[in-house]
Amino acid sequence: MKFNYIKYGAYLALILVILYVCIYIFEKGKELGKAAAIN
């Protein structure tokens, strides 16, 4: 049972990291888009 929780936790952490990276890229893209629009 304990091993399954560790496995589940690892998958959950991986998903959170991927989501965080996607949000970070999206925010950066918005900033770059604004900068491009100004220039």
Give tens-digit pLDDT for 14-34.
999 999 999 999 999 988 888
Nearest to 16 by CA among 24, 28, 26: 24
- What integer pLDDT is reported at residue 20 of this predicted model? 98
Residue corresponding to tokens 């999206």: 26
Q: What is the rounded distance in angstroms from the CA atom of residue 23 to the CA atom of residue 11?
A: 18
Q: Model pTM? A: 0.63
- What integer pLDDT is reported at residue 37 of this predicted model? 78
Q: How confident is the model at residue 35 (pLDDT cuts 50, 70, 90)?
A: confident
CA angle, 17 as apex, 29 and 13 as ends, to 5°?
Answer: 165
Higher per-residue pLDDT: 39 or 32? 32
